[in-house]
Amino acid sequence: MSTIAAVSTPNAVGGIAVIRISGENALGVADRIFTSVSGKKAADMEGYTCAYGYAHDGDERLDDCILTVFRAPHSYTGEDTAEISCHGGIYVTRRVLRAALANGADNALPGEFTKRAFMNGKLDLTQAEAVMDVISAKSERELKLAEELRSGSAFRMAEACSQKLMKVLGDLAAWADYPEEDIPEVEPETLCAELREIRGELFRLIENYDAGRIVREGVSTAIVGKPNVGKSTLFNLLSGCQRSIVTDIAGTTRDIVEETVRLGDIVLRLSDTAGIRETADFIEGIGVEMAEKLIDSAELIIAVFDGGCPCTADDIKLINKINNKKAVAVINKNDVQQRFDSSLLVQHNIPTVYLSAKENNGIDGLKTTIENIFNINSDLINNVTTANERQRSCVESSISSIDCAVEALENGEHLDAVNVLIDDAEQYLLSLTGKKVTEAVVDEVFSRFCVGK
């Protein structure tokens, strides 16, 4: 494989930048662009050692640097790797990279270092995908989920199931190929029990998928309610700054304002909408229509009601609209005398929180209620879960092949047919871990990475 180089730190000004060079000829390239003060050559350095010196492009001295050497297979990529740490200026960093490219290295593609780690067996595909999740994690829970996968937990579970499926396949093959030998007959009941056990283990990999996805990607959330109930005040409180126009003239939020906010462990992709009410104002009417559409498309609805006013026909209409959706009712303005009758909310079992957006009290209750709606709890961290659609669909397909195999066994179908179905289940697990996967899938996975990773 060719020797590749890229800047592994952000394309921005910083204290230090790192240019990573990996491949058969990495240390040779390093020796052509870096001279150590001690006179030691990269090619003679041991793995995990550093040298102080300077980077140069031909005779032109570029910057004082530290060179770190990693020896195959004990490097991130599994190949010989040189990392040059220089001052973190954009120009100087580019010059060092350009020198590496002029001296035998090729430009690394996005994710190519991690792709090589995968190709060299340092990571399975789920771990490789988790590297990007670690980089993009924005919360403690998100990071823990990603770290769990990166440490190989999903891989180990998939491997264990895969081994068990192989054993079942082996038993079936031995029995089918050598019927005259003294091999115990394969009992359909025993096979079914074994397959069900494997199914149960695989299911654990996807049961928290939705909750995990919510932690990673956030929830599209619409704040809806009549005008003047305090939607914008709540929106501003959640986003921590004055973004929407807050007035006491009904109908002042006429379009949809969007903001991404963090509430505890959940990221809410918030839309503050025009108040939903019957209106004759044309422009406001468009806003109301958009708000109503949002109720249909949002994953979570925060329906706001004015605790200081009696429940009106518009409120009842809204309660009926959000019934059977993922929704939380906020009875706002709990700092004034309460006059809102919440019995319809109770009747529809809609989780309800009493708070004051203006006084900033009761937000914790809102946070806990939303976490409960999406099943975000500490179990999520303790349980291994698949991290993306590709992984989830591999596990789901494997489970459904196992289900078909169990059904075939129960219906007394020929063991050859069962064999094919179990083999399918096995193939899906091999593509999950990347042991057997098309180049197109691998390319797709790594295309989402950044250059230098």
Q: Which is nearer to ligand GDP, 273 or 386 (CB)?
A: 273
Local structure of 386: helix, strand or coil:
coil
Place of tokens 């009493």: 354
Local structure of 46: helix, strand or coil:
coil
At its nearest, how many Å lie between ligand GDP and the CB of residue 271?
12
If binding is defined by CB under 6 A, does position 230 make contact with ligand GDP?
A: yes
Q: Which is nearer to ligand GDP, 271 or 427 (CB)?
A: 271
If binding is defined by CB under 6 A, does position 212 make contact with ligand GDP?
A: no
At its nearest, how many Å lie between ligand GDP and the CB of residue 266?
22
If binding is defined by CB under 6 A, does position 233 make contact with ligand GDP?
A: yes
Pattern 275-314, binding to ligand GDP, x per CB under 6 A?
x---------------------------------------
Given candidates 231, 277, 392, 453, which one binds ligand GDP under the rule CB under 6 A?
Answer: 231
Query: Per CB under 6 A, which of residues 317..356 are in contact with ligand GDP?
Result: 332-333, 335-336, 356
Of 105-113, 182-190, 227-235, 393-401, the segment contacting ligand GDP by CB under 6 A is 227-235
If binding is defined by CB under 6 A, does position 246 make contact with ligand GDP?
A: yes
Residue whose C-beta lies closest to ligand GDP: 230
Identify the bridge partners of residue 266 per DSSP, sorted by sequence position: 263
What tokens does 397 get? 């397909």
Q: What is the DSSP string of 244-301?
A: SPP-SSTT---S-EEEEEEETTEEEEEEE----S----HHHHHHHHHHHHHHHH-SEE
At its nearest, how many Å lie between ligand GDP and the CB of residue 232?
3
Local structure of 220: helix, strand or coil:
strand
Taking a C-beta distance cutoff of 8 angstroms, is the pair 394, 401 a contact?
Answer: no
Count Cα neighbours of 349 within 13 Å in the Cβ-side half-sphere: 4
Of 53-61, 245-253, 381-389, 410-418, the segment contacting ligand GDP by CB under 6 A is 245-253
CA dist list (Å): 85 to 2, 20, 55, 77: 22, 9, 10, 18
Residue 189 CB burial class (10 angstroms; 0-12, 13-18, ≥19): exposed
If binding is defined by CB under 6 A, does position 362 make contact with ligand GDP?
A: no
Q: Which is nearer to ligand GDP, 104 or 251 (CB)?
A: 251
Q: Which is nearer to ligand GDP, 17 or 229 (CB)?
A: 229
